[in-house]
Structure 1
Amino acid sequence: MPGQGTARVAINANVTGPELDEQKGLANLVKGMFSMYRNPAAHEPRLHRTVTDEELLELLTTLSMVHRRLDSAHVVP
């Protein structure tokens, strides 16, 4: 959510407290995933970072959920 809290892509009506919390939570989840998996080759040698098959499946499952939520989102003018 850029700026002071106005969503550019809304996953709900963003009217009630729970809707605002849901919007903020999804944004934080996406930011966290990006921070965790950002271009690790540029930050540390790949030999020193083990990613298991289980971790990759968990990431893909989470990305699938985020993608599904964004598919039904709308751009805020």
Structure 2
Amino acid sequence: MQTAKVKMKDAVSSAKEKAKEGTAKAQGKTGKATATTHGEKEMAKEETRANKSQAKAEMHQEKAEHRAEAAAGTDKYV
């Protein structure tokens, strides 16, 4: 039962990460479209890359918390 809870929590974390990546990608496209200089386009590209990396890091952090909760036998959602 515990592993099913962890798997579901991981699936939710992955879905949130994908949503955040999609948002970052959309914002990056908007930033590139509105940029007038090469420097602004590069800045928008780097911002997109940073936001995607941050979303991925948050997902991994949440998954680590799920594993720690499972190992400790606690469930903060109940």
Structure having the higher helix fraction is 2
**TM-score, length basis structure 1:** 0.40
Which structure has the bigger radius of gyration? 2
Higher relative contact order (CA 8 A, sep 6+): 1
Structure having the higher strand fraction is 1
**TM-score, length basis structure 2:** 0.40
